[in-house]
């Protein structure tokens, strides 16, 4: 009897056991390990040595590159995140339009998101080359002399942002499915009331998809801080360290300079920054994110209340 009861309650846990094991071994394990190592000086080829908060102190007081890389990553996130979301939303709106061959466009917009980051970096390296790149060639047709994208430190960050925006497809798809989910009745009612197309977008579409916007905002903030592949392969952090992102800085400390403990500390600082930013976004979300279910429930409550009073 007891055993039967045990199995009944335990069965669901058995189903999720593979995931739990994976999570413990490959996520929580390394996470805790890296937290511990962040208090050590660990040159990889020799044994770790405990140095307390030494790594953190060095980072904030002695290492100029730490601050510089952090600023570069913040700058990147500040430009990339909104830009990426606007482009994704715009494309999503385009592919929800009832035009012929929309499936073709949908595929075209999404394909870049399927290509591996390495290939994207190499392709953009060619596109952006100042001597034989196609981008500057196209600009020259318009009579514009294109900047030396990957050579001029003033333009390199823009070049990286441009190349990252190439992978906008996934976010577009998430917006797309959510927009498709909005009941057509609402739009019909609105157009009967004489609402213009732009009015419909700002008063119906946008509020209805705010939960998705929240999701995309958070995931893209996180991924923009972790951008490594692109800068490693496209610019190598250059020119003149203008694209030496925080992720690359951490990676180099770990695997180029073999300062595993220091890099762990770098990663934890990044973790805390991301955590704070995410918490901030969540805090603000109650002010601008609109959940349909919540609205219905609160509406229902009001009605009941009203009914009692009457």
- Nearest-approach distance from CB 248 to another protein, in angstroms: 10
The residues that bridge with 49 in the sheet, in sequence order, are: 41
Task: CB nearer to another protein: give 77 or 91.
Answer: 77
- Contact between 136 and 146 under an 8 Å Cβ cutoff? The reply is yes
Alpha helices in the chain (DSSP H): 2-22, 29-37, 54-61, 64-95, 102-114, 117-128, 134-141, 153-165, 169-181, 184-192, 197-200, 206-208, 210-225, 229-230, 246-251, 260-288, 292-309
Task: CB nearer to another protein: give 96 or 211.
Answer: 211
- Nearest-approach distance from CB 196 to another protein, in angstroms: 33
- Contact between 112 and 123 under an 8 Å Cβ cutoff? The reply is no
Task: CB nearer to another protein: give 207 or 238.
Answer: 238
Where do contacts with another protein occur on this chain (CB under 8 A)? Answer: 26-27, 29-31, 33-34, 37, 42-46, 129-132, 148, 150-154, 215, 218-219, 222-223, 226, 228, 236, 238-241, 247, 250-252, 254-258, 260, 264, 267-268, 270-271, 274-275, 278, 282
- Nearest-approach distance from CB 262 to another protein, in angstroms: 11
Chain CA centroid to CA 76, Å? 12
Count CB atoms within 10 A of the CB of residue 191: 13
- Contact between 157 and 242 under an 8 Å Cβ cutoff? The reply is yes
- Nearest-approach distance from CB 256 to another protein, in angstroms: 5
Task: CB nearer to another protein: give 109 or 246.
Answer: 246
Task: CB nearer to another protein: give 187 or 211.
Answer: 211
Count CB atoms within 10 A of the CB of residue 212: 20
Residues making up the chain, counted from first to last: 310
Task: CB nearer to another protein: give 96 or 241.
Answer: 241
Residue 257: strand, helix, or coil: coil
Sign of the dihedral through C-alpha 27, 30, 35, 36: positive
Task: CB nearer to another protein: give 20 or 197.
Answer: 20
Nearest of 113, 115, 94 to residue 105 by alpha carbon: 94
- Nearest-approach distance from CB 27 to another protein, in angstroms: 5
- Nearest-approach distance from CB 232 to another protein, in angstroms: 10
- Nearest-approach distance from CB 34 to another protein, in angstroms: 4
Task: CB nearer to another protein: give 201 or 271.
Answer: 271
What is the rounded distance in angstroms from the CA atom of residue 258 to the CA atom of residue 171? 36
- Nearest-approach distance from CB 305 to another protein, in angstroms: 27
User: Taking the CA of residue 248 as centre, how many other CA atoms within 13 Å lie in the half-sphere pointing to its CB?
Assistant: 23
């Amino acid at each position: 009897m007891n055993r039967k009861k045990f199995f009944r309650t335990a069965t669901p846990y058995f189903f999720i056991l593979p995931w739990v094991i994976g999570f413990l071994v490959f996520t929580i394990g390394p996470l805790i390990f890296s937290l511990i190592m962040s208090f050590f000086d660990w040159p990889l080829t020799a044994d770790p040595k405990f140095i307390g908060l030494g790594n953190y102190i060095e980072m904030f007081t002695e290492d100029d590159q730490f601050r510089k890389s952090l600023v570069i990553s913040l700058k990147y996130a500040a430009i990339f995140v909104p830009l990426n979301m606007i482009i994704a939303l715009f494309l999503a709106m385009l592919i929800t339009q009832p035009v012929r061959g929309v499936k073709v466009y949908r595929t075209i917009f999404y394909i870049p998101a399927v290509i591996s980051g390495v290939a994207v970096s190499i392709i953009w390296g060619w596109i952006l080359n100042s001597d034989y790149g196609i981008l500057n060639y196209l600009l020259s047709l318009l009579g514009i002399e294109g900047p030396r994208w990957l050579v001029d430190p003033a333009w390199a960050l823009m070049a990286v942002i441009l190349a990252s925006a190439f992978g906008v497809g996934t976010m577009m798809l998430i917006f797309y499915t959510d927009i498709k989910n909005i009941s057509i009745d609402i739009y019909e009612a609105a157009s009967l009331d004489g609402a213009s197309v732009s009015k419909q977008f700002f008063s119906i579409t946008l509020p209805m998809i705010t939960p998705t916007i929240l999701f995309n905002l958070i995931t893209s903030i996180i991924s923009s801080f972790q951008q490594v592949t692109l800068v490693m392969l496209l610019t190598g952090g250059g020119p003149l360290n203008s694209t030496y992102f925080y992720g690359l800085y951490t990676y180099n400390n770990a695997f180029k300079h073999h300062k595993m403990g220091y890099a762990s500390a770098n990663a934890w600082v990044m973790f805390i920054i991301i955590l704070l930013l995410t918490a901030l976004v969540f805090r603000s979300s109650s002010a601008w994110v609109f959940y349909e279910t919540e609205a219905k429930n609160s509406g229902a409550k009001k009605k009941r209340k009203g009914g009692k009073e009457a």
